[in-house]
Structure 1
Amino acid sequence: MMADPSDISGPVVYDLVLRSRRAVLPDGERPAAVAVAGERIAVIGDYDEPIPARRTEDLRDLALLPGLVDTHVHVNEPGRTEWEGFATATRAAAAGGVTTLIDMPLNSLPPTVDAPALAAKRAAAKGKTWVDTGFWGGAIPGNETELKALHDAGVFGFKCFTAPSGVDEFPPLDREGLRRACAAVAALGAVLLVHAEDPARLRDTPAAPAFADFLATRPPEAETDAIRDVIDAAGATGARVHLLHLSAAEALEPLARARRDGVAVTAETCPHYLALTAEQIPDGATAFKCCPPIRGAANRDALWDGLAQGRIDFVVSDHSPSPPAMKTGDFATSWGGIASLQLGLPVLWTEARTRGHGLADLAAWTSRGPADFARLHRKGRIAAGADADLVAFDPEREWTVRAADLHHRHPVTPYDGRRLTGGVAATWLRGKRIDTAAAPRGRQLRRSPR
């Protein structure tokens, strides 16, 4: 029954069979045996079905999940490798069950805003990636003529800001620049990712503020006004647009209305907006600083409702680390980014399970959703023909985060000391278990022409 009927030489012997009583498949969670041939999933059988294989592992009650696809990671190499780097970021990704990531065009130097910069980034990543890695291009003022070359070179789409990015070499687009970028991206059949905050709504941060003071400088209206501009530009040009790191729940209704009106708009949020609240953040705890900011508990609950209703499409990390010296304890001057690449799965599961969500929801939000968004057709699912990117996950494990034990470059994270439920036991990339004592075998991915 597992053999190819055209093969008269005998039964097929697969390279690997993984058995789990909790396999998360496209049709839900059930006991299953997943047979791998080469780098891909060949067939899925019953848990106790005899399947000839060179190697068999029985995970028993460990869940078998599809590898996570994280489409929002700031690796920062080349140019700011002291902040992070391909070796450390992808090692952390693998430890967290992430088997595919797509790197953002900033904060590397040069930023990925033309084809030579993309070539420099690919050279910097060569031989260093523990997981499969792709790249976004950047849309900044004046580089519209560079977008086609980046698209032809295989970037997955383009990112822009509507407010200052935090680094001078990646300036924001004004309303007219946003519309021009949408038109250029629409002509290419690509997607424009937007960090949507309206600079007119942002306020100056007072010196040495409390967290509440910092939060007040980036009110929900900064997001909602910018999102309306993005929706208007997409509707006028026919562009496909994507809203990054949605933090303001007030944006959910205009987002849903735009979709009803036929605008091609999707949205993501991040574990920190779903797990953390403004009320929990001590003054001076700048490991929690990000832009847009973490908001209050009622806002968090509304984001969970939006995720459950499908108004938010998926969840990714927005891993944006920096050296400890850039997290000074002053919300006015500290870098605005959260380091969490290794922790997204247990952080999300810890909160999701208390809200009645299951492992199938978790996989939809962290694997299939972002894979489908990036049009990575062989990623993000446990199905015949897909890449054998797999994660053994213990949904009952309880543990405490120690920042010093994490694999990203610097031991800074807002989750230090936090009690979590769920842990990654093993990660397989294209059919082979990732062993960080061996050589990295991650590939560089290019946008599919399909």
Structure 2
Amino acid sequence: MDTLDFIIENGDIVFEDGVKKVALGIKDGVICDIGDIHSSARNRIDASGKTIFPGMIDVHVHFNEPGNEEWEGFKTGSAMLAAGGITTFFDMPLNGSPSTITANAVVEKAQLGKQKSLIDFGLWGGLVPGNECELEDMAKEGVIGFKAFLSPSGNDEFEACDDDTLLRGMDAIAQLHKVLALHAESGPLTTFLQHKKMRNGLTSIDDYAASRPIEAEAEAVARALYFAKQTGCSLHFVHISSSEAVNLIQNAKKQGVDVTLETCPHYLIYSHEDFRRLGSVAKCAPPLRKQRDKEKLIKHLLKNEIDLISSDHSPCPWEYKEQDNMFKVWGGISGGQFSLLSAIELAKNYQLPLESVVKWTASHPAKRFGLYPKKGAIQIGSDADLAIVAMNTPFFVSKENLFAKHPYSLYENHTFPCTIDTTMQKGNIIYQNGEISYHTKGNCLKPAVNQMFYANKSC
């Protein structure tokens, strides 16, 4: 029998259907044996007292290449994710220059990612007014799906979609068998409320939050769902922050709409009250909600009504956060390193099985976006993408253990109940004991054709 590259033994492995103490055999970057393994191996990892998860797939990060690497680039961003047990990410299309709204831009960004990223990645293409003719060519270049904003994005190169653009784009995306991801906040409503506040000199944290109410999210979600029924377009709602929006999406699922939703750890761990306490580091869009609304959102998570957890990692140099006018502060959370730890914390706090973490962070994203079972699973034939977690070793977040390009985060001073011990991608150790290995190169992933999401039938 061939000598294996790795055997990982004595750990508790979290599969989709339960936790089992079995060994994993890895060869040529792939899981080739599970169970009682008698083969020889060049390397052995004793995972005694540790728990092994599939590496997380973060479907929503904002890196800034090409053009704005000083904010966060593929190298620093992928290292940061690897330190958090993330082994695959999907980069959003709006923060580079140029934005990823043409096939040429997709090719350029993919080349940069393959040169610099330590882990595998996919790319979102953009839907903006005037680029509907580019969608087919971007699909041919292998984008994961398309992203559109229903309110201003904060980037002049990436305009929000008016209703005509949205309908035409959704019709085209349906024909391409792709998914449209939506930032769902009502542009007319949020713009009206913001301008009204600013005209009256009202620029505080409370004023900013009031300008982006739950009603703005619910209105945009409802409108997009109506359009999806007419066009047959598959939808994925990003960073959903309210129970009202979840209910709309769940009702649409029952009516046969192919739709999924994600939320982010910051909406499940933090609240508007924390925003007021922490200041601009906690500004995002939609804003953090009040404690009672956060608790409603958590109830949906507990009822399996939230499909995915993603980070929406959206960093910037600190000077863009360091302003008094909350409408001028950059709106993004720097937190990609902590999504898997957050998911585990939530499961532990609410006595959920660890299989729930696998669904939120690995199997559901892989299935939704055509990567399963190569990604998102611990199975024979799956890539050996793994996060080995010391479940009973707390992790205190400090500037010293932040791997993002700019060492600040909403999560600073938070203590997670567990620690990422080792991250492995395709059989290579890329993070261990607080250190990153910079010897790996990620691939640009191209998904299979989208199919009706399995969670419409059961979750």
TM-score range, shorter chain: over 0.9
Structure 1 stretch 13-22 or stretch 386-395: which is displaced more? 13-22
Q: How does 1:284-303 map to 2 (within 5 A)?
A: 285-303=279-297
Structure 1 stretch 204-213 or stretch 121-130: which is displaced more? 204-213
Q: Which runs of 4+ in 1 moved over 4 A?
A: none
Structure 1 stretch 114-123 or stretch 76-85: which is displaced more? 114-123
Per-residue displacement from partner, 1:235-262 (whole Å, max 9, x unpaired)?
0011101101000111122111111111
Partner of 1:4: none
With the length of structure 1 as denominator, give the TM-score of the two structures: 0.94
- Distance in 2 (alpha carbons) for counterparts of 1:51 and 1:298: 54
Q: Which amino acid aligns with 1:133?
A: F
- Distance in 2 (alpha carbons) for counterparts of 1:56 and 1:403: 32
Q: 2:22 aligns with which of 2, 20, 32?
A: 32
Greater helix content: 2
Q: How far apart are residue 52 of structure 1 and its match?
A: 2.8
Partner of 1:359: 354
Partner of 2:149: 161
Contact 1:127 1:440 in 2 (8 A): no
Q: Tell me, which stretches of 5 or more residues in structure 1 are unaligned? A: 1-10
Q: How far apart are residue 284 of structure 1 and its match?
A: 6.8
Q: How far apart are residue 437 of structure 1 and its match?
A: 4.0
- Distance in 2 (alpha carbons) for counterparts of 1:288 and 1:337: 8
Q: How far apart are residue 424 of structure 1 and its match?
A: 0.5
Contact 2:88 2:121 in 1 (8 A): yes
Contact 1:307 1:314 in 2 (8 A): no
What RMSD, in angstroms, separates the aligned Cα atoms of the two structures? 1.6
User: 2:105 aligned with 1:111, yes or no?
Assistant: no
- Distance in 2 (alpha carbons) for counterparts of 1:21 and 1:76: 37
- Distance in 2 (alpha carbons) for counterparts of 1:427 and 1:20: 17
Q: How does 1:410-429 map to 2 (within 5 A)?
A: 410-429=406-425
Q: Which amino acid aligns with 2:81?
A: A
Contact 2:16 2:358 in 1 (8 A): no
Contact 1:201 1:219 in 2 (8 A): no
Structure 1 stretch 189-198 or stretch 328-337: which is displaced more? 328-337
Q: How far apart are residue 12 of structure 1 and its match?
A: 4.0
Q: 2:119 aligns with which of 119, 123, 131?
A: 131
Q: Which amino acid aligns with 1:267?
A: L
SS at 1:177 equivalent = helix
Structure 1 stretch 81-90 or stretch 36-45: which is displaced more? 36-45
- Distance in 2 (alpha carbons) for counterparts of 1:182 and 1:282: 38
Contact 2:119 2:425 in 1 (8 A): yes
Per-residue displacement from partner, 1:101-145 (whole Å, max 9, x unpaired)?
011001100000001111221232232111101101000001010
Partner of 2:247: 253
Per-residue displacement from partner, 1:132-174 (whole Å, max 9, x unpaired)?
0110100000101000000001111100001100111100111
SS at 1:281 equivalent = helix
- Distance in 1 (alpha carbons) for counterparts of 2:307 and 2:396: 29
User: 2:336 aligned with 1:348, yes or no?
Assistant: no
Partner of 2:182: 194
Q: How far apart are residue 26 of structure 1 and its match?
A: 2.3
Task: Provide closer, same or farther for how the CA distance between residues 65 and 148 of structure 1 changes in structure 2, counting only shifts above 3 A.
Answer: same
- Distance in 2 (alpha carbons) for counterparts of 1:137 and 1:328: 31
Partner of 1:328: 322
Contact 2:177 2:449 in 1 (8 A): no
Task: Provide closer, same or farther for how the CA distance between residues 182 and 449 of structure 1 changes in structure 2, counting only shifts above 3 A.
Answer: closer
Q: Which amino acid aligns with 1:419?
A: T
Partner of 2:207: 213
Q: How does 1:367-446 map to 2 (within 5 A)?
A: 367-377=362-372, 378-434=374-430, 436-446=436-446
Partner of 2:32: 42
Partner of 2:456: none
Q: Tell me, which stretches of 5 or more residues in structure 2 are unaligned? A: 451-459
Task: Provide closer, same or farther for how the CA distance between residues 321 and 35 of structure 1 changes in structure 2, counting only shifts above 3 A.
Answer: same
User: 2:13 aligned with 1:54, yes or no?
Assistant: no
- Distance in 1 (alpha carbons) for counterparts of 2:437 and 2:416: 26
Contact 1:210 1:284 in 2 (8 A): no
Q: How far apart are residue 366 of structure 1 and its match?
A: 0.8
Per-residue displacement from partner, 1:361-418 (whole Å, max 9, x unpaired)?
1121111111111111211111111101011111111132113431111012111112
- Distance in 1 (alpha carbons) for counterparts of 2:292 and 2:130: 40
Q: 1:89 aligns with which of 73, 77, 102?
A: 77
Q: Which amino acid aligns with 1:252?
A: V
Partner of 1:339: 334
Q: 2:6 aligns with which of 16, 38, 55?
A: 16
- Distance in 2 (alpha carbons) for counterparts of 1:289 and 1:20: 42
User: 2:263 aligned with 1:264, yes or no?
Assistant: no
- Distance in 1 (alpha carbons) for counterparts of 2:167 and 2:339: 33
With the length of structure 2 as denominator, give the TM-score of the two structures: 0.92
Q: Which amino acid aligns with 1:288?
A: A
- Distance in 1 (alpha carbons) for counterparts of 2:437 and 2:379: 29
